[in-house]
Structure 1
Amino acid sequence: MPFTKNALLRDILADPAASRVLELHIPGFATWNDWSLAPLATLDEVSHWARGVGEQSPDLNALWQDMADVESSPAVVSADRAPMPAIWGDREAGGHERASAQVPAIPSEQWGVAEVALAGPSTGNPFTEIELEATFRSGSDAVRVGGFYDGEGTYRIRFMPPHAGTWQFVVKSNSDELNGAVGSVEATAPAGGNHGPVGIRGTFHFAYADGTPYLPFGTTAYAWTNQSTELQEKTLRTLAESPFTKIRMGVFPKSYSYNTNEPESFAFERHPDGSWDFSRFNPAFFRNLEQRIEGLRALGIEADLILFHPYDRWGFSAMPAWADDLYLRYIVRRLGAARNVWWSLANEYDFMNTKNEQDWERFASIVGQEDHVGHLLSIHNGASFYDYSRPWVTHCSVQRTDNYLSAENTDTWRERWGKPVLVDEVGYEGDVAEGWGNLSPQELVRRCWEGAVRGGYVTHGETYLDADDVIWWAKGGSLKGESPERIGFLRRLVAEAPSARWDPLPGDWDSRTGGDQDHRVIYLGIGRPRFRSVLVPPGDSWHVDVIDTWNMTITTLPEPVEGRVIVHLPGREYMAIRVRRATSTTN
């Protein structure tokens, strides 16, 4: 089949002959940093993009002719032509013999992971031919949990007990070896540090299951679990010294600027011809992912797990629908009992032209069906917002859609969707060529403060150039920037509010005020006043603090104040004034 104007860039770059033609007419194009922005762009779109400002080359007629003379290689089967396997042909388990397996009592704790491990069939394709699930019961409570095949004849069912006590379970399967296995989980009270999974607190904020407030001051390292073991370990050591409580991370590897290395392991096995067998998972890949998520849990960090993304040269963003669904059920069943997991259906969903709204809604339904815990679930936008009012969306995972207005829209987005707002891509501290990745540390910290006083949460990222392309935002490793420490300072200040949250409050036209009724913060941003007249709420006395958000200092006025007070300032940017209720004078 010849390459036409509608051939995908991904397919052209994967074909040696077509790549040579592209290189002939657009020299160096395959090494441009930005070609991976649109791997699913057509040759027609690419050729017009490559002309540049005022340029009229390449000679498009010659390009079309040379591409038409290339015959694409049949070595790799395209995902949309891969055959659909028979999946769980008999899911009812009716007529099957009941297994005699009595599983020994499994110890766990509330909000821990209770794992049922069973030996079963290893012939054929257990990933698609064997289905199993268990129902766990404690009193009137019943929880259905799906199981998965972990290779070498081992099947697992992972259950998070929502409360302490004895949970009896029975396994249901279309395999005689697994069907009817019974046992119990003995769940004790949660140990210290186990607060349960994170959920929504009120309307716009977060808390753990035991009610402890949770503040999502996060970072981004998209492909850190697809790097070498050494680099993954280094990333965890860095996170242990950081202020971050959440990390945005992908399941699949990423093909993008500064991120072109080949992973050591993949989620799927391969056919003999080298193409992917989407019906067979690679358990070792998922065990590594589980190990890293467990490492994050030990650090008190939530794993905001991105299930799909468009930056892909391997075909994982364009799998057939049956493979998408099989993958989702598998990963949710494997990871759904981990209390520090969040689900993000996609990073920049609207850049994935292989999916449509019906796909995303189907994916959300599958995650909802298979996630017995009910973890947080969202989807991240590129240029166009998703409808975050959809009932399955627990919070808004937002990328700013304007180069200059970023976190300044946080309060507007809160009002629009009535849900917590995480500005998960506000731009990154760094010095790369692209505009999304060369913010100064001062500007990133300013955006974090803007989002905070407007009642939301802004996610950090770092993109400093590195000789080995080990950039934090892509691969993890080490942090080089100046913003993390100052984001930690901001996190501490939010936690000091009596309600452990900041909401937007009425303020002056040239500043933003956030906090609660006992604890108010006036953020001056890029203003540099030498003094400020502040009117504190009447009837009470208030402590007044001058906060230097960059130098991380707090200077408190000697005495509490009432009424109006003149607050003297150093005439520098990035200052804030905090007023804290001292005593009530009306009682």
Structure 2
Amino acid sequence: MVMFHKRSLTSAVLENPEAWQVLASAAPELENSPTLQQWSAFPVEWVLGLALGEHDSRIPTIMDRLAKIEDTTPTEPDEAAPGCRPDYEGDDVAAGSAILHLPSGAELHRMAEVVLEGPSHGNPFTDVELHSDFTQGHTTITVGGFYDGEGRYVIRFLAPTTGDWTFSTRSNARSLDGVVGSFSVAASERPGPVRVSDKFHFAHANGQPFRPVGTTAYAWTHQGDELADETLRSLAAAPFNKVRMGIFPKDFIYNSNEPLNFAWSRREEGTFDFTRFDPSYWQDLERRIQQLEGLGIQADLILFHPYDRWGFATRSAAIDERYLRYLTRRLSAFPNVWWSLANEYDLLHSKTDADWDRIAAIIAEEDHVGHLLSIHNWTYLWDYSSPWATHCSLQYGELLGKKVGQWRHRWGKPVVVDEFGYEGDLDQGWGNLTAEAVTQQFWETTLAGGYATHGETFWNPEEIIFWAKGGSLRGEAPARIRFLSEICEASPTGRIEPLPGPFDALVGGVADQYEVHYFGQHRPLFRDLVIPEGRSSRIDVIDTWAMSITAVPGEHTGKVRVDLPARPWMAIRLTTID
């Protein structure tokens, strides 16, 4: 029995006579409220805040009463997960008789593939289970394999060290069981997967710092080759090194076209067969992830989202599990992958917090690399104290200079503001921010010790909008974001930490070595600074919009008045002289 809760859909409340009576009796004005109808596909507690006012004292009472009422909205019954078949191949098939193809040119931090040519009868996606144990010395790493169609089975491995590795397979299919082999992993200059580093930051496996500068193109891999290739050309010229992108296609305003292919195969009548994946879809996705790697870009893969007319995100737990295991086995050996369990998880009313914990556990079990893992909100922030969450992936649009510091203190993890709104001119408030506003959000988030993610939503008649479909970037913010990155990279550590500062400016940098004071929309004519005794500094005036740096002549000590042009978007940089 599922009771109503704060993330229940408003439509479910409106369609339930008992629940509707709770609303009507507690707040009669809701009976004619257009807000409830307009936002019926969104969480009821949030919609009540829109209709009545966020702090209306009646809302907690309404929610308490709703929590005693069963949500009778029809749901799809769960299905039993089909298990592998012990009798998939008979005793007449020799154990380990599948044709083996060893990895060629294996390198550190580069995916190695062990390929087996094996059986294709029945449904190998569900009938066959395959694992391999990769061993070097006292280290053994178990990796799951997957079926890639036409009798081809693949086990992908991202070796954490150079040298010789041996492997041995295990499978219920006799021909795939007990296959052994070895290969050597050579050294390489590849930086490897990104990890959390120094609590609030990131670095590659080889220790090279990584400062995520993200952008958003949710459904760019679902648009066909011509537009996807244009997207890659745009990214190659842009300052971004991380892209938020969905495994599933998206159904939303300005994004309603039908994709060319899907994660699952379709039956003749057009319905999806959730027991059979479509290898051609996955092969195309992998090609795009590899192309991103060639550009030095991380693929932040969104596993579920609510904008879904195909029903992919609201299937049974068994279908979800089969999808997650297949996805992770196919993609975890790519070094440039991040996992995002969901975009706006709190709009996926069919999944509870316990479901997200379960989903995260499946990913962790199957991912032999241990890629970064998080989840993204719409209204209700996730509690990132969850042990599986490596970092915070947040949607939030206001006062980021203050909020980032609070989140760092609360969760003790890197803070990535993956959505605060988009530069563009759409008719939606989230999609018509100015370039100045986007640039300011990046500067405030950065100096507060966090990381920000860009998006672009300029209208065009073909509805090719970068935030959804990719294409060409048109905005003025990316150039300013690149300039900010150069300011960060000039610090002694290549990173920015929040530093103590006055009430009316954000200060970040490296303590005692590198300070950047940012004034945002304010426009001071000058600023008085005090350089501590015994230290001298170079001082630069930075115009964050014009992307200019003007040195203040001399070496400075003690109290210094720095003249400014009395216009917004200015900053001052102090660099300690050794």
TM bucket (normalised to shorter chain) is: 0.7 to 0.9
Deviation at 1:275, TM superposition (A): 2.0
Deviation at 1:404, TM superposition (A): 3.6
Question: What's the C-alpha RMSD, in Å, of the aligned pairs?
Answer: 2.6
Aligned counterpart in structure 1 of residue 566 of structure 2, from 571, 576, 583: 571
Deviation at 1:271, TM superposition (A): 3.0
The amino acid of 2:159's aligned partner reads: P
Aligned counterpart in structure 1 of residue 200 of structure 2, from 198, 201, 204: 204
8 Å CA contact 1:36–1:257 kept in 2: the answer is no
| Aligned counterparts of 1:265 and 1:187: Cα–Cα separation in 2 | 35
- Once the two structures are superposed, residues 399-443 of structure 1 have per-residue CA deviations (whole angstroms, 9 ceiling, x without a partner) of 01xx54345411111111100000000110011111111100000
Instruction: List runs of 5+ in structure 2 lacking aligned partners.
Output: 1-7, 13-35, 52-73
Determine helix, strand or coil for the equivalent of 1:108: coil
| Aligned counterparts of 1:561 and 1:35: Cα–Cα separation in 2 | 62
The answer for the alignment partner of 1:321 in structure 2 is 317
- Given the alignment of the two structures, is residue 453 of structure 1 paired with residue 451 of structure 2, yes or no? no
Aligned counterpart in structure 2 of residue 128 of structure 1, from 111, 126, 129: 126
The amino acid of 2:566's aligned partner reads: G
Determine helix, strand or coil for the equivalent of 1:535: strand
Alignment of 1:173-184 (within 5 A): 173-184=171-182
8 Å CA contact 1:93–1:172 kept in 2: the answer is no
The answer for the alignment partner of 2:425 in structure 1 is 431
8 Å CA contact 2:545–2:569 kept in 1: the answer is yes
| Aligned counterparts of 1:224 and 1:36: Cα–Cα separation in 2 | 29
| Aligned counterparts of 2:422 and 2:533: Cα–Cα separation in 1 | 41
Determine helix, strand or coil for the equivalent of 1:290: helix
Alignment of 1:145-294 (within 5 A): 145-191=143-189, 194-294=190-290
- Given the alignment of the two structures, is residue 416 of structure 1 paired with residue 410 of structure 2, yes or no? yes
The amino acid of 1:461's aligned partner reads: G
The answer for the alignment partner of 2:136 in structure 1 is 138
> Bigger CA drift: 507-516 or 182-191?
182-191
Determine helix, strand or coil for the equivalent of 2:346: helix
| Aligned counterparts of 1:102 and 1:355: Cα–Cα separation in 2 | 42
Aligned counterpart in structure 2 of residue 548 of structure 1, from 543, 548, 573: 543
- Given the alignment of the two structures, is residue 117 of structure 1 paired with residue 115 of structure 2, yes or no? yes
CA separation of 1:415/1:8 partners in 2, compared to 1, >3 Å: closer, same or farther? closer
| Aligned counterparts of 2:11 and 2:281: Cα–Cα separation in 1 | 28
Determine helix, strand or coil for the equivalent of 1:133: strand
CA separation of 1:474/1:105 partners in 2, compared to 1, >3 Å: closer, same or farther? closer
The answer for the alignment partner of 1:534 in structure 2 is 529
| Aligned counterparts of 1:273 and 1:84: Cα–Cα separation in 2 | 24
- Given the alignment of the two structures, is residue 360 of structure 1 paired with residue 319 of structure 2, yes or no? no
8 Å CA contact 1:36–1:311 kept in 2: the answer is no
Alignment of 1:363-442 (within 5 A): 363-400=359-396, 404-442=398-436
Determine helix, strand or coil for the equivalent of 2:333: coil
The answer for the alignment partner of 1:347 in structure 2 is 343
Determine helix, strand or coil for the equivalent of 2:300: strand
The answer for the alignment partner of 1:504 in structure 2 is 498
Q: What percentage of residue pairs aligned between the two structures are identical? A: 49
Deviation at 1:184, TM superposition (A): 1.4
Deviation at 1:97, TM superposition (A): 5.5
Determine helix, strand or coil for the equivalent of 1:109: coil
Determine helix, strand or coil for the equivalent of 2:521: coil
Determine helix, strand or coil for the equivalent of 1:161: coil
Deviation at 1:354, TM superposition (A): 1.1
- Given the alignment of the two structures, is residue 338 of structure 1 paired with residue 327 of structure 2, yes or no? no
The answer for the alignment partner of 1:69 in structure 2 is none
Alignment of 1:551-562 (within 5 A): 551-562=546-557
Structure-2-length-normalised TM-score: 0.86
> Bigger CA drift: 81-90 or 529-538?
81-90
When the two structures are aligned, how many residues end up with a matched partner? Answer: 520
CA separation of 1:373/1:559 partners in 2, compared to 1, >3 Å: closer, same or farther? same
Structure-1-length-normalised TM-score: 0.84
Instruction: List runs of 5+ in structure 1 lacking aligned partners.
Output: 1-5, 11-33, 50-77
Determine helix, strand or coil for the equivalent of 1:177: helix
| Aligned counterparts of 1:154 and 1:462: Cα–Cα separation in 2 | 40
Deviation at 1:232, TM superposition (A): 0.4
Aligned counterpart in structure 1 of residue 437 of structure 2, from 426, 432, 443: 443
Determine helix, strand or coil for the equivalent of 1:470: coil
| Aligned counterparts of 2:10 and 2:96: Cα–Cα separation in 1 | 51
Determine helix, strand or coil for the equivalent of 1:558: strand
The answer for the alignment partner of 1:98 in structure 2 is 95
The amino acid of 1:147's aligned partner reads: G
CA separation of 1:558/1:571 partners in 2, compared to 1, >3 Å: closer, same or farther? same
| Aligned counterparts of 1:570 and 1:331: Cα–Cα separation in 2 | 54
| Aligned counterparts of 1:407 and 1:248: Cα–Cα separation in 2 | 23
| Aligned counterparts of 2:341 and 2:230: Cα–Cα separation in 1 | 27
Deviation at 1:541, TM superposition (A): 1.1
The amino acid of 1:255's aligned partner reads: D
| Aligned counterparts of 2:284 and 2:125: Cα–Cα separation in 1 | 19
CA separation of 1:449/1:384 partners in 2, compared to 1, >3 Å: closer, same or farther? same
8 Å CA contact 1:448–1:487 kept in 2: the answer is yes
